[in-house]
Structures are given as structure tokens and as C-alpha cells.
Amino acid sequence: MSQLSEGASMDVPAMSAGGIWAAPGRVNIIGEHTDYNGGYCLPMALPQVVRCTAMPRTDGLVRVSSQQHPGERIDVPVPELAESPVEGWARYPLGVVHEYHRRGHRIPGVDLELDGSVPIGAGLSSSAAIECSVAIALRDLFGLPVSEADLIDIANKAENDYVGAPTGTLDQTASIRCTAGHALFLDAGTGETSQVPFDLAAARLALLIVDTNTPHALVDGEYARRRRECEAAAAELGVSKLREITDIRALSALTDPVLRRRARHVVSENARVLAVVEALRNGGDPRAIGPILTAAHASLRDDFMVSTAQLDTAVEAALDAGAHGARMVGGGFGGSIIALVDANATDRVVAEVEKRFQAAYFAEPRAFVAVPSAGARRVDQG
């Protein structure tokens, strides 16, 4: 039997009428594969969101549906969620309900209808947007006594334990805590966050996202393997997390060259995050962070080995077309890149990427300008 979390109650909650809640996808400006190593990240929320329309039930049934999967409806009784064999998209919202139930929060039943505009498989955290929209909907709908930190942990545990993707807390933290006009500086080791001004328009810049149209799957084993390699490197170095290593020279103690490369990415990426945060907080020209972004891509490609031909081609094309910096984003093995470009150069950069993709017979890429946006919230009230 699960233990009750602090403040949880098995009493019947005070239910509100239904409503609509939204949680955004995110793009990470810098700081990939650092969160589960206790390091630093700098994400921002996207205007693209997942909306969750939630209505209470009293029959103990969870019913989930999605506008992206018309005609498909999943019904699971709350007590049976732990053993449910449901797979695919529905496992994300069901996992959040299960995690609330597992912690002792009574869910008497609920209808959840999802509708999302976050590109799926693009490395922009569509899964976290689902989880966080459902998490805040359940909190508000049933008046559950959970903190912001609880929301992040509930959503993350749903992905880790119920879906089976061993991700860190970056995605859920960004979806919950980001604010418009800012990036979010996250210390994953302590959970502390702070807002960093990120007004590219004032500098006549834009952050371009190019989705390479090569969806990735974080549950396919490679992401988990990288995490295990990082844990092995930390253990050999005698630290609990690689975040504790700040001097690259300390990595010479690693005898396995693969573990040394993985650790080198994490240690150097943490330093890059701190450099970008300092540059942005000092109010200088944001173009200065461009080379740091490009260096991060090289590290992800060569040391962490999570890039692909499509991601590399998109980065190279963007740089050749005049981007100040570019890199792959997300867990890797597909997905998207970001490019820091002059605001009047977005069309030129996209055209160059499209030309290179066509020449290489890659799928047609999709591109849009990212604007730092608000975190998870209720959207059907004032």
C-alpha cells in the first residue's frame, strides 16, 4: 500500500466544475543531458501547448481522449491503473492520474480530453506538456493540496515510472515554471530556479526552431544507456552526480574512453549554461551566446553521440546561412535544432536548410520562430 504524501487526504475532495488547462512545450536554449546529472539547464516555454479539458466523474473511471487520435477513447478504473496494459499516447495522462492515486490523493473519476499543438517527436517536450496540463487540471479540479514542486515530481514520476522513459525533471519544470519573456535557469541538483530575461526581439534577433521531421523515441534504449554511462562515470570518479565535477582535467581518471567522452560533455555543458546565463544577465548583445550554442552541438555530436545526419545538416546549413549559433535540442536521435539568427534572416536560413535537406533526400523540415511564453495555467477563466 502506498504511503500518503504530506498533506494528502483520502477524504472525498471538493470538486469544481470542469474547465480547460494548458501546459506548454519547451525548447532548451542550452543544457542538454545535464538535468539527470544534477547540473544546469536553461529552457524556455513555447507558445505551443497541450490543452486538457477536464470534467469530474463520481464512478471511479478515468476516460481519456485526444483530438489527435479521433475515435479512440480509453476507459480505465482508477484502482486498475497500476496494472493497465494501455500503451501509446494515453499512457501519459493515465500515468499522472495513477501517480496522484498512488500518493493517496483521491480521484473519484475524471474525463480528460487532450488537444495539442506541440510537435510530437520533435524534442520539444510534448509528453511533458501532456503530463503537466493533466497534473494542474487534477489539482484544480479536485482541490488537491499539492505544491508546484509536487506537480513537477508527479509529472516526472508519471513519465519515469509509468511510461518508462528515464528522463530528468527539466521538461516538467520548464512547463510548470517558465514565464513569458524569460528563460528559466534551473539547478537540477537543488531544484532551484530563477528567471533570466530573454528578449531577442529588442536585439533584432530571433530563435528559430527547425524540426527535422525525424521523430525520436526516448524509450528506445539509447537515452537510458547514456544515463547509465553517466552514472557509471560518476561512480568511478567517486561522486554522486557528474555535476560535482567542474574541472575537465579530473576526467583523465576515467579509464573507459566512452565514459570519459560522456562525462566531458556533461561537465563542459554545465560550464556553457553558466556562461550563457551570465551573458544574458549582464545585458550584453545576445549574439555573443551564438558560439556557445554551436560548441554545445559539437559536444552532443562528438562526445555524447546523440546527433543524427539530419540534425548535423540542419545546424551546418543554418550556420552557413548566417546564423550566429545553432545546435540540436532535446534528447537527441532525431528532433529539432535551434538557430540564433537576425530577425530579418529567418527566411534565408530556412530556405538553406530546406535546400540541403532536399539534396540529401531527407524528409521536409518544418520551421517556426520560438517566443518565450507562459508556463502551465488554466485558460478558460479571465
Catalytic positions, written as ranges: 171
Whether the CB-CB separation of 41 and 269 falls below 8 Å is answered with: no
* Radius of gyration of the CA atoms of the chain, in A: 21
Cα separation, 24 vs 127, in Å, equals: 10
Whether the CB-CB separation of 124 and 44 falls below 8 Å is answered with: no
Whether the CB-CB separation of 115 and 50 falls below 8 Å is answered with: yes
What's at 222, amino acid-wise?
E
Pairing state of beta strands 73-77 and 61-66?
Answer: antiparallel
Whether the CB-CB separation of 368 and 25 falls below 8 Å is answered with: no
Whether the CB-CB separation of 178 and 26 falls below 8 Å is answered with: yes
Cell numbers describing residue 65: 481522449
Q: What is the dihedral sign for C-alpha 132, 137, 142, 148?
A: positive
**DSSP string for residues in 37-50:** GT-EEEEEEEEEEE
For 362, phi then psi, to 5°, come to -85, 165
